[in-house]
Amino acid sequence: MINKDYIEGKDWTLFLDRDGTINKRVEDYVTTWDRFTFIEGVLEAISACSSFFGKIIIVTNQQGIGKELMTHDQVNDIHEKMLEVIEYYGGRIDAIYYEPSLAIYEAFGRKPNPGMAYFAKRDFPSIQFKKSIMVGDTLSDMQFGKAVGMKTCWIKNKWEMKNYDSISEFTDYEIEHLKELVLKIKSV
């Protein structure tokens, strides 16, 4: 289904979750750059994805702000440094959207709700959800993608196995690591 001929043409968009997809999960929140650790091989994978996808967008829930455990400035600082490293490795991120509100408010901009997808479409009208892939490690990532008709790709992990039945309902592809997406794209 995903293959190079299918994806190329730059009209496809890759939506990426952040925590657990790009960087390793921590027990609470990644509040500062020294707590941000790239998952091995992710930088190379983003770099490879940059040549297949017209746009690469990060969408991330950051309710640590709502809990007052960190500030917008801290999150922006982390993202600035993250982008520097991604670009050093030849990768490209076109935009980052984060939602600071607490989960209990179920904000439109907080996954599983699709707000951040619409914000991206507002800023980049060429984005087509039918030609988009959402990659993430949780059920809410898969629900977010499916809410607007994207293809969804779940990064398997032990923490989310409790939700496996629901996840499989919303998931088109299961992978172990973002680099597997690159292999899937390359294979016909």
Binding mask 112-141 for Mg ion (x = CB under 5 A): -------------------------x----
Q: Which residues are designated catalytic? A: 17, 19
Segment 153 to 182, residues that bind Mg ion, using CB under 5 A: none
In whole angstroms, how close is the CB of 157 to Mg ion at the nearest point?
A: 9
CA distance 137 to 20: 6
Q: How far apart are the first and last CA of the chain?
A: 8
- Of positions 12, 13, 16, 19, contacts Mg ion by CB under 5 A: 19
Going by the DSSP 8-state scheme, the letter that residue 157 receives in this structure is: -
Binding mask 20-39 for Mg ion (x = CB under 5 A): x-------------------
Nearer to Mg ion, 99 or 137 (CB): 137
CA distance 69 to 71: 7
CA distance 134 to 140: 11
Establish if 91 lies at the interface with Mg ion (CB under 5 A): no
CA distance 124 to 89: 24
Site residues (vs Mg ion, CB under 5 A)? 17, 19-20, 137
